[in-house]
Amino acid sequence: MASNDIGDWYRSIPQITKYWFTGSVVIPLIGRLGIFNPMWFILDFKSFFYRFQIWRPMTAALYYPISGPRGFHYLMNLYFLYSYSTRLETETYAGSPADYLFMLLFNWFCLVIIGFGAELALLMDPLVLSVLYVWCQLNKDTIVSFWFGTRFKAMYLPWVLFAFNLIIGSGGMMELFGIVVGHLYFFLMFKYPQDFGGAQLITVPSILYKYFPKRTGGMGGFGQAPASRRRPDDADGGGGGWRGHQWGQGQQLGN
């Protein structure tokens, strides 16, 4: 019965989120079990450019050390990844997986550039935070809950996570990189064309639609930010819940 429940849950994960979530489980397990040396997964400038180890930018976004005290933080990363990625894919980008995949690729590409410049070894934290940031901007008036019962609008959640880790975590730089990249995507895709009347500076390559075609019946539309939605506080405990869960509860990132 438990295996059936897990299988049903896994099959219910939307397409792109499932790929990302699965990779974020498999790659760390490979490193933890010693099948491959974890040092082969991290982002390294010389190895990428001079040794042609071209897989490193991808594995750096999926790998995270899961031994010791970092294990709990890794589970929190998976929690945020699943919850906020699922929400974006099934709401704003419903019926158009290519559009959501483009957002992930855009954020990932920007973080790879930042990673080379800032000598970041791992990109999971900022990539997850960039997705969380986009969701919070599209649902800025939704009330979310943080630790100790603190409640505030979703638009403040990324900054709360940044401040939290700045004080008691690892400095908050990973969160800051994620916020910057998430804001860059949100500004170029939504805010600049709609609020400032500017041109659409980034567009989805047609090849993505070939492999991830649009599906009918979607609730959201790519290229147009939906009005901020505030779910009833009593319906999900104020956490901006999805299917009865409180996905908006904050946890620390970047440890």
Mean residue pLDDT of the chain comes to 83
CA angle at 235 for the pair 140 and 137, rounded to the nearest 5°: 10
Say yes or no to pLDDT of 196 above 90: no
Residue 140, judged by CB atoms within 10 A of its CB (0-12, 13-18, 19+), counts as middle
Within its chain, how far is the Cα of 199 from the centroid? 26
Say yes or no to pLDDT of 244 above 80: no
Q: What pLDDT, on a 0 to 100 scale, did the predictor assign at position 145?
A: 82
Say yes or no to pLDDT of 14 above 80: yes
Question: How confident is the model over 75-91, as pLDDT tens digits?
Answer: 988 999 999 999 999 99
Question: How confident is the model over 205-242, as pLDDT tens digits?
Answer: 999 999 999 886 544 444 444 444 444 333 333 333 33
CA distance 226 to 91: 9
If one compares 64 and 150, the residue with the highest pLDDT of the two is: 64
Mean of the pLDDT values across residues 108-136?
96
CA distance 66 to 230: 35
Q: Return phi, psi of residue 205, to 5°.
A: -60, 140
For residue 48, list its beta bridge partners. none
Mean of the pLDDT values across residues 189-211?
91
Name the pTM for this structure.
0.83
Domain ranges for the chain: 73-236
